[in-house]
Amino acid sequence: MDTYVADTDRYEHLEYRSCGDSGLRLPRLSLGLWQNFGNDRSFENQRRILRRAFDLGVFHLDLANNYGPPPGSAEENLGRILARDLGRYRDELVITTKAGWTMGPGPHQQGGSRKYLLSSLDRSLARMGLDYVDVFYSHRPDPDTPLEETMLALHHAVVSGRAMYAGISSYGPSLTRKAAAIMRDLGTPLVVHQPSYSMLNRWVEDGLLEATADEKMGVVAFSPLAQGLLTDRYLDGSVPPGSRAGVGRPSWRDNMLTDEVLDRVRGLNRIALERGQTLAQMAISWVLRDRGPRTVTTALVGASSVEQLEQNLKAVDSTEFTEEELRDIDRWAINSDINIWWGATASKE
């Protein structure tokens, strides 16, 4: 078995930003293990991607209990890769996981109850072979559980040593402020919010980025490529075999690939080409653009190959936009009913 030794220049490639008002720092681009790290993908390819990511300074690895397929397998595969390759660098890695979406049958395999969150965290740690994660998130708001109970579970995860920090995901502006106030009173501040955000899914601009700035929280934007729509894969209107739409992955709905959405994607692609970027690179650059105190801390990208990872990382070199470019982008960057995460959560408050 080959012995992995990390590149000694790994911290020379990326900028690192503080996560809100905390001492936690994250690379401008982070690796999400949502789609490409289950048992349906080559394990050796997963090893190559993770090793290359770390060599390029991407030390933030984001998971959830239900990532796969099957659910849990992404955490298991990361655990295998930690044991073989990256475990010796655990102190450098920021490994995050979540609980909230369905993991199995019964009332305590989903939601925001103390029972589900803490038992799920224990199982996540066992799958990864870890004593702690760096951030544990409530993956979604749960209208059937008091917010105080969910926040107390996050607080306990931290004070018990199973997590270094606590975060929330897909909470609206009002709930974010309420959750932050509860956690502040408990003495375990929320350090990060993880919302979906892309050119075709701009809901965070309607109060959430202001809320996170006011609450001194970092922002980890997921799905900056709009579940793959903001790539060159669908420009001709067809559905390539192996794409998320083509294999019916749960991150897609039938109404996403409409003529109207494709017109917007093609308009954005023309601007990207004028900037000397691929559409995917521009989409990531745009999410990371300077918005003052409302600037996104890091964007999560997936990668099905080392080459795709390297191409995505080039986006961090071009996060500046002219006013004219931003106006042109706004003509096409319109909410397109692709936010699949609201359907099973509380309201957008």
Domains defined for the chain, CATH in brackets: 11-225+292-304 (3.20.20.100)
Query: Cα dist. 7→55, 61, 103, 320, 328 in Å?
Result: 5, 18, 37, 29, 40
Mean pLDDT by 10 residues, the chain (349 residues): 92 96 97 97 98 98 98 98 98 98 95 98 98 98 97 98 98 97 98 97 97 98 95 78 50 71 96 98 98 97 97 97 98 90 55
224-228-234 Cα angle (round to 5): 135
Which backbone phi and psi does 239 adopt, to 5 degrees? -115, 105
pLDDT for 241: 56
pLDDT for 236: 79
pLDDT digit string (tens) for 223-261?
A: 999 999 999 988 876 666 555 444 445 555 566 778 999
Cα 339–chain centre separation: 14
For residue 7, give both structure tokens.
């590149």
CB atoms within 10 A of CB 274: 11
CB 38 within 8 A of CB 67: yes
Tokens 């083509």 correspond to what residue?
246
Q: Does pTM top 0.85 for this prediction? A: yes
d(CA 53, CA 44) in angstroms, rounded, equals: 14
